[in-house]
Amino acid sequence: MKRFFAAFFALVMLTGCSNGGASKAEESFISGDGAVTYIKSSDRVKAPSISGLTLLGTQYKFDGGKIAVVNVWASWCSPCRAEEPALSAAARAYPEVEFIGILTRDNPVNAEAFVRKRDVPYPTLIDDSILAGFRKSLPANAIPSTVVIDKSGKVAARISGAVTVGSLKDVIEKVLSE
């Protein structure tokens, strides 16, 4: 009986010392509040070049000339998973708008499984160094963050936190009407 309690106590102590498998990325992410920030046309800054390898192993390059919705996400991020249906619905509803995902602080294998399972209709780039190019305009300061690029290739808006169908529609419609 003493051996049982000793083994049980050791197991409880070891379990209590673990971090439950959480990664540093999961522990340090900041979730936005869904706030939408618009930039007046005259104050906009050029968006960085967006190109690279996708989760599905293809090369992608955004050539510009049309509006783009760039979503920064990770598969372990609950708000990111929750907003995916709104992003996919908007991508299907606005074929004239380019949708692009940028994976950050995540395991590409897990993210690829998420994308395939959900049948996400737009590419996700696995090089999050692209995010540094947004630092002079509206940096992706939370996970998830969504940046909207106007037809002239400049950053027009950001949604910090999970998008909703309504918030995304409003931003896209406003930028499309310019």
Please indicate, yes or no, if residue 14 is contained in any of the structural domains. no
Please indicate, yes or no, if residue 76 is contained in any of the structural domains. yes
Domain of 134, CATH number, reads 3.40.30.10
**Could you tell me whether strands 98-103 and 124-125 are parallel, antiparallel, or unpaired per DSSP bridges?**
parallel
Please indicate, yes or no, if residue 16 is contained in any of the structural domains. no
**Average pLDDT rounded to a whole number, residues 88-104:** 96
pTM, full prediction: 0.80
**Domain interval for residue 130:** 24-176
Which one has a higher pLDDT value, 121 or 139?
121
Please indicate, yes or no, if residue 150 is contained in any of the structural domains. yes
| Total number of domains in the chain | 1
What are the structure tokens assigned to 66, written together? Answer: 């049309």
Which one has a higher pLDDT value, 100 or 28?
100
Q: pLDDT at residue 108 above 60? A: yes
H or E element, residue 35 = strand 35-38
Please indicate, yes or no, if residue 5 is contained in any of the structural domains. no
H or E element, residue 7 = helix 2-17
Query: Which pLDDT band, with edges at 50, 70 and 90, does 27 fall under?
Result: very low
Local structure of residue 154 (DSSP, 8 states): B
Q: pLDDT at residue 28 above 80? A: no
pLDDT on residue 7:
41
Cα angle 117, 158, 43 (rounded to 5 degrees) comes to 150
Q: Give CA–CA dist 126/147, Å, rounded.
A: 17
Query: Which pLDDT band, with edges at 50, 70 and 90, does 89 fall under?
Result: very high
Q: φ, ψ for residue 73 (rounded to 5)?
A: -155, 175
Q: Give CA–CA dist 30/82, Å, rounded.
A: 16
Highest mean pLDDT among 35-39, 90-94, 133-137, 157-161: 90-94
Please indicate, yes or no, if residue 2 is contained in any of the structural domains. no
